[in-house]
């Protein structure tokens, strides 16, 4: 009898490891996959960073809304953070939905041990309108601002935090002054919720030294679930590659605009941005 041929080789294939910068998201899970930690990790991978996570809360969530939220115990949040920073060289941290005052305080304490860039997305309300931050957590949240390299609030979040609706240069300056007073280094005023009177979205980066505006055509779509998470994690990813802040913001906006222009047709609600959308130039690190 003839023995069957084997396709296996006796030689081992040598490993070929890839060195990538490490980005960490400290946020909450979105079971639907469009926002939260899931969106962050997809974005980080797409933009060439090795992404890790500290899960603060678990949500039962989909494209139509948020059904429930469970905040993890403080010690579990801390244990995750300690495990990551004890083993990885974390190039940047993105902060997302932190849900409750107790979780905010734990994260604030964790960040005392970290001196790299921090992109803070002050997530308060989901795209569906469901609240994502408990009322008593707002005051605690502002204490995190002194840890932030960059804040990325939308117009509604700016108004809730500062009382100023950032729809013109003067109101943005007033809001920035308040946010700088709480310790933030820079603020990206996202323009998606602001009517500019033109078919455009204007995002405005304000630092203590300068103001930079980024303008893109407004996409006529309701499929924006996850866009804020995507933008902040894209900026954090670019910071791990060594981009200067305004360059990281510009590239983060460009990537997010692509995911909104070509959204994902998923779920029974409006849908979500698509992290696989756009040109293959997004695969891996931008150069």
Q: What is the pLDDT of residue 285?
A: 47
Q: Does residue 237 form part of some domain? A: yes
User: Edge-to-edge strands of the sheet including 211-217?
Assistant: 65-71, 50-62, 22-30, 90-95, 118-120, 150-151, 186-189, 200-207, 211-217
Q: Does residue 33 form part of some domain? A: yes
The whole-number average pLDDT for the span 58-65 is 89
* pLDDT for 282 beyond 70: no
Domain count, the chain: 1
* pLDDT for 161 beyond 60: yes
Handedness of CA 213, 114, 228, 244 (dihedral sign): positive
Q: Does residue 81 form part of some domain? A: yes
Q: Does residue 130 form part of some domain? A: yes
Q: How far is CA 271 from the centre of its chain?
A: 18
Q: Does residue 3 form part of some domain? A: no
Q: Does residue 15 form part of some domain? A: no
Q: Does residue 286 form part of some domain? A: no
Q: What is the pLDDT of residue 244?
A: 97
Q: Are strands 118-120 and 65-71 parallel, antiparallel or unpaired?
A: unpaired
* pLDDT for 136 beyond 70: no
* pLDDT for 37 beyond 90: yes
Q: Can you give the CATH number for the domain in which 132 is found? A: 3.40.1190.20
**What domain range includes position 154?**
22-274
């Amino acid at each position: 009898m003839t023995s069957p041929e084997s396709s296996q080789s006796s030689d081992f294939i040598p490993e070929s490891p890839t060195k990538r910068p490490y980005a960490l998201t400290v946020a909450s899970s979105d079971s639907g996959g469009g926002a939260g930690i899931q969106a962050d990790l997809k974005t980080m991978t797409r933009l060439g960073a090795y992404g890790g996570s500290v899960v603060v809360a678990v949500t039962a969530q989909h494209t139509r809304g948020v059904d429930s939220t469970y905040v993890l115990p403080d010690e579990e949040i801390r244990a995750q953070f300690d495990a990551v920073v004890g083993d990885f060289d974390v190039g940047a941290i993105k902060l997302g939905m932190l849900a409750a005052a107790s979780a905010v305080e734990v994260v604030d304490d964790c960040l005392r041990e970290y001196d790299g860039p921090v992109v803070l997305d002050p997530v308060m309300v989901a795209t569906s309108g469901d609240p994502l931050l408990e009322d008593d957590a707002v005051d605690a949240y502002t204490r995190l601002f002194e840890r932030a390299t960059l804040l990325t609030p939308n117009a509604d979040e700016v108004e809730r935090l500062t009382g100023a609706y950032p729809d013109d240069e003067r109101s943005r300056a007033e809001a920035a002054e308040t946010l700088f007073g709480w310790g933030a280094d820079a603020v990206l005023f996202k323009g998606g919720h602001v009517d500019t009177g033109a078919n455009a979205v204007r995002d405005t980066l304000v630092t203590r030294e300068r103001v930079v505006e980024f303008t893109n055509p407004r996409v006529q779509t309701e499929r924006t679930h996850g866009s804020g998470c995507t933008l902040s994690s894209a900026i954090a990813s670019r910071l791990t590659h060594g981009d200067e802040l305004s360059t990281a913001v510009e590239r983060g906006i460009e990537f997010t605009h692509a995911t909104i222009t070509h959204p994902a047709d998923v779920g029974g609600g409006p849908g979500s941005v698509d992290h696989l959308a756009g040109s293959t130039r997004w695969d891996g690190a931008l150069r």
